[in-house]
Structure 1
């Protein structure tokens, strides 16, 4: 049973050894261990605070990026609106210019048609006059071929003409 229950001497020497080890640990090891634990704790706190600062900076950068994106989108929309307005203006100007040009061409065509019509009428009048003269000449030649017909024609004209 001696093996199961320790003796008083053994307990005494274990207590003395424990106290010596406790004294040595508190004298030489406890302070460096505690200081290294404090250093570790402060480095962890610093790392956490730096991580928090980095997180805040990332949020600020993200907000800045979102703001820049919003500005870029607004600028893009403005540029597209300006380009659309310029395009519409150019189209309207081109339509107006085309309308003016077509009106000018129609007016020129009408004037050309009118000139051609006048020229054609003049030519027709001249042709009608020539034909009338030729027909009259042919008729006069045929009717005035004998002397009695000539006298009869002169008498008829004399009757028509009244002298006052």
Structure 2
């Protein structure tokens, strides 16, 4: 039973040795352990502060990127609008030019038709005049083929002409 119940002297020496070990640990180990713990705590706090700062910077960068993206969209929309306007202007100019060209061609065609019509009318008049002359010549030849008919025609013309 002695092993289970220690004597008073053993307890005393154990307490003395424990106190000496405690003093030695306090003097040599406790301060370095506490200082390393404080150093670790401060480095963790610094890392947390840096993480928070990085998070804020990321939010600022994200806001800046969104702003740049919005500006880029606005610029794209402006360029598309300008391109649409230019395209519409070019289409309108082409329509106007085509209309003017069509009007000019119609006017030229009308002038050409009028010229052809005038030429055809002049040709018809010339042909009619030639036919009239030919017919009159044939009638006169037939009428004036005999001498008494010629004399009678001259007399009738003379009677119609009155001398003043």
Which residue number corresponds to residue 30 of structure 2? 30
Q: TM-score under structure 1 normalisation? A: 0.92
Which residue number corresponds to residue 93 of structure 1? 93
CA RMSD of aligned residues (A): 1.6
Q: Deviations over 1:134-163 (max 9, x none)?
A: 111112112211122223333444455555
Give me the whole-angstrom Cα distance separating, in 1, the residues matched to 2:45 and 2:130. Answer: 124
Distance 1:3 1:118, change over 3 A: same
What's the CA shift for 1:69?
0.3
Give me the whole-angstrom Cα distance separating, in 1, the residues matched to 2:150 and 2:158. Answer: 12
Give me the whole-angstrom Cα distance separating, in 2, the residues matched to 1:156 and 1:19. Answer: 182
Which residue number corresponds to residue 75 of structure 1? 75
Which residue number corresponds to residue 41 of structure 2? 41
Q: Deviations over 1:7-42 (max 9, x none)?
A: 323322222222111101110011111110111000
Question: How many residue pairs are counted as aligned between the two chains?
Answer: 164
Please say if 1:60 is aligned against 2:21: no
Give me the whole-angstrom Cα distance separating, in 1, the residues matched to 2:163 and 2:120. Answer: 41
Unaligned runs of 5+ in 1: none
Q: Deviations over 1:26-85 (max 9, x none)?
A: 100111111101110000000000011111001100100000000000000001001101
Which residue number corresponds to residue 112 of structure 2? 112
Unaligned runs of 5+ in 2: none
Give SS of 1:4's match.
coil
Q: Deviations over 1:98-121 (max 9, x none)?
A: 111111111111111111111111
Distance 1:152 1:10, change over 3 A: farther
